[in-house]
Chain A
Amino acid sequence: MIIRKVLVANRGEIARRILRTCRARGVATVAVYSEADAGWPFVREADEAVLVGPPPVAQSYLNIEKIVSIAKETGADAIHPGYGFLSENPTFARRCREEGLVFIGPDPNVIAAMGDKVNARRQMQQAGVPVVPGTDAPLPSVEAALEAAAAIGYPVMLKASAGGGGIGMQVCRTPEELKAAYGTAAARARAYFGSGDLFLEKYIDEPRHIEVQILADAQGNVVHLFERDCSVQRRHQKVIEETPSPFLTEEARQAICAAAVTAAKAVGYVGAGTVEFIVDADQNFYFLEMNTRLQVEHPITEETLGLDLVALQLDIAEGKPLPFTQEDVTARRKGHAIECRVYAEDPVTFLPAPGRIVAYEPPGGAGVRIDDGVAAGLTVTPYYDPMIAKLIVSASTREEALARCRAALAAYRIEGIKHNIPFLQRVLDCEAFVQGRYTTHLVQELQPQEQKGARQP
């Protein structure tokens, strides 16, 4: 089949990004937008734009029936969900299918299978993809805990089965520490959660978050598009990503990429997807989860491979086979790319900072790409994600990419709202980042004054 008209079920920078590829292919576009987004660039740039509802997401960008009916009314033949919102919602993918619309993403059953974290872990274990070693059932006694810990290897994390949010977790580095912690942890778990059940997991000391982009066609071909290092995070949300990872050895890179291909094949994946891993100081890697959609940080992969992932998603959705082999992909890879996420937030406390953008002048020049969704005069509202733009730089070496990134951030002008560019600059200048020796603890170490008590519901 040929996709002639795409409805983009998203907003902001990613809606714009998808529209751009559609336009280049001669594919007609439909944007849906909430009342809060009237007049935003993605609304103006689509061939047609339809109001989907009031600002709250439940009534707008998560309104499945409304979006499906707009697609039918406008004669769209496919829906691109972007990331977030409905992109990993199996019900939405199924509804599209029932209405004869192409959902640009994998099969609804694959979305559901990977969305269930316990099931995903089990499926990966069966496929031979490493998962974080741990006990699957509650520990019956301290003796059983000691035995399990010896098999897993120290350090271990003692966790309350019913726990969450870091409560009831304790790192044990020796059998003595585990023995001492066990009794109090069980008592505390009983007091806090009503259940004294404990289990053990390997504790990853210096964790890196590294993910692998994969592409799979309907014919069963799967390739990886190498890794992205996403270890710079605040509140478990990525802030800066780069590729290649400055940490991985060539041997580990090959192994982690091969594991991602195995993971995709094991679940019968079709489309663009990302397999996320946690990597320890010795380059051992463990499956975390699979994201069954386009990733925010996909541009750094595009810049180092000279590919358009959205175009490839459309090709795969049309049933075309992948236009390249793994060897072709490897031969294309060159240089280094870094992405900085620009958030409308306080650069010290990371608190959201909605408001009106008075002046907006993004940087440009060789190797500088801006994927943004905003413009001067627009108001960033409190209803949606704080990310307003992505700065992507590429160069032949990491050092050059860093220099280019610093220059671009210095030239980026955003006035009227608080934004995190000063924070991004601090990260790029810190020793650990410059040397490529950073872990997911970097932001905490750099900026411990992050707002306490804030949470994402």
Chain B
Amino acid sequence: MSAIAAHMAGIVIRINVQVGDAVQPGQDVVVLESMKMEIPVQAEAAGTVRAVNVKEGDFVNEGDILVELEG
């Protein structure tokens, strides 16, 4: 199991995956916005989405787990 964490504090503006989706390394899974910038958060490893812990509009802190993968 691996987890995809926010690398900065910001607001979740887009979620590109759902539970059950297969993701590839480098794929943008969530897009965060902070201070006039949009920053994609990418999967580091391949896997299947087990959980999405945030919804659009949520405020997240650096290090918060956004998406959990298995496989």
Q: Which residues on B sit within 8 Å (CB–CB) of A384?
A: 35-36
Task: Select the stretch in A276-284, A345-353, A398-406 that faces chain B.
Answer: A345-353
B39 is an interface residue with CB less than 8 A from chain A: yes
Cβ-defined contact, B39 with A454, below 8 A:
yes
Q: Which residues on A sit within 8 Å (CB–CB) of B59?
A: 382
| Complex CA distance for A327 and B37, rounded to whole angstroms | 44
CB distance from B1 to the nearest CB of A (A): 25
Partner of A351, one of B11, B36, B39: B39
Cβ-defined contact, A352 with B42, below 8 A:
no
Cβ-defined contact, B39 with A385, below 8 A:
no
A455 is an interface residue with CB less than 8 A from chain B: yes
Residues of A339-395 whose CB lies within 8 A of B: 344-346, 349, 351-355, 382-386
Partner of B39, one of A344, A355, A383, A451: A451
CB distance from B51 to the nearest CB of A (A): 24
Cβ-defined contact, A456 with B10, below 8 A:
no
Q: Which residues on A sit within 8 Å (CB–CB) of B36?
A: 384-386, 456-457
Residue of A349, A354, A355, A451 most packed against chain B (CB within 10 A): A354
Cβ-defined contact, A351 with B40, below 8 A:
no
Q: A354-B10, A355-B9 are in contact. Are A386 and B35 (CB under 8 A)?
A: yes
Cβ-defined contact, A351 with B8, below 8 A:
yes
Q: A382-B33, A382-B59 are in contact. Are A353 and B9 (CB under 8 A)?
A: yes
Residue of B7, B28, B34 most packed against chain A (CB within 10 A): B34
Q: Which residues on A sit within 8 Å (CB–CB) of B10?
A: 352, 354, 382
Residue of A346, A353, A382, A385 most packed against chain B (CB within 10 A): A382
Partner of A457, one of B8, B28, B38, B40: B38
Q: Which residues on B sit within 8 Å (CB–CB) of A355?
A: 9
| Complex CA distance for A345 and B9, rounded to whole angstroms | 10
Cβ-defined contact, A382 with B39, below 8 A:
no
CB distance from A358 to the nearest CB of B (A): 15
A26 is an interface residue with CB less than 8 A from chain B: no
Cβ-defined contact, A354 with B42, below 8 A:
no
Cβ-defined contact, A352 with B38, below 8 A:
no
A453 is an interface residue with CB less than 8 A from chain B: yes
Partner of A453, one of B8, B34, B35, B39: B39
Q: A353-B9, A355-B9 are in contact. Are A344 and B38 (CB under 8 A)?
A: no
Cβ-defined contact, A354 with B34, below 8 A:
yes
Residues of B16-53 whose CB lies within 8 A of A: 28, 33-40, 42
| Complex CA distance for A349 and B39, rounded to whole angstroms | 12
Q: Which residues on A sit within 8 Å (CB–CB) of B7?
A: 349, 351
Cβ-defined contact, B35 with A352, below 8 A:
yes
CB distance from B31 to the nearest CB of A (A): 10
| Complex CA distance for A457 and B34, rounded to whole angstroms | 11
Q: Which residues on A sit within 8 Å (CB–CB) of B28?
A: 453
Nearest-neighbor residue (CB-CB) of B7 within chain A: A351
Q: Which residues on A sit within 8 Å (CB–CB) of B9?
A: 352-355, 382
CB distance from A414 to the nearest CB of B (A): 16
Cβ-defined contact, A354 with B38, below 8 A:
no
Q: Which residues on B sit within 8 Å (CB–CB) of A453?
A: 28, 39-40, 42
| Complex CA distance for A453 and B59, rounded to whole angstroms | 20
CB distance from A175 to the nearest CB of B (A): 39
| Complex CA distance for A353 and B42, rounded to whole angstroms | 18
Q: List 28 A-B contacts (CB under 8 A).
A: A345-B35, A346-B8, A351-B8, A352-B8, A352-B10, A352-B34, A352-B35, A353-B8, A354-B9, A354-B34, A382-B10, A382-B11, A382-B34, A382-B59, A384-B35, A384-B36, A385-B36, A386-B35, A451-B39, A453-B28, A453-B39, A453-B42, A454-B38, A454-B39, A456-B37, A456-B38, A457-B33, A457-B38
7 pairs of A and B residues whose beta carbons are closest in the complex: A352-B35, A352-B34, A382-B34, A386-B35, A351-B8, A454-B39, A354-B9
On B, residues with C-beta under 8 Å from A are 7-11, 28, 33-40, 42, 59, 62
On A, residues with C-beta under 8 Å from B are 344-346, 349, 351-355, 382-386, 451, 453-457
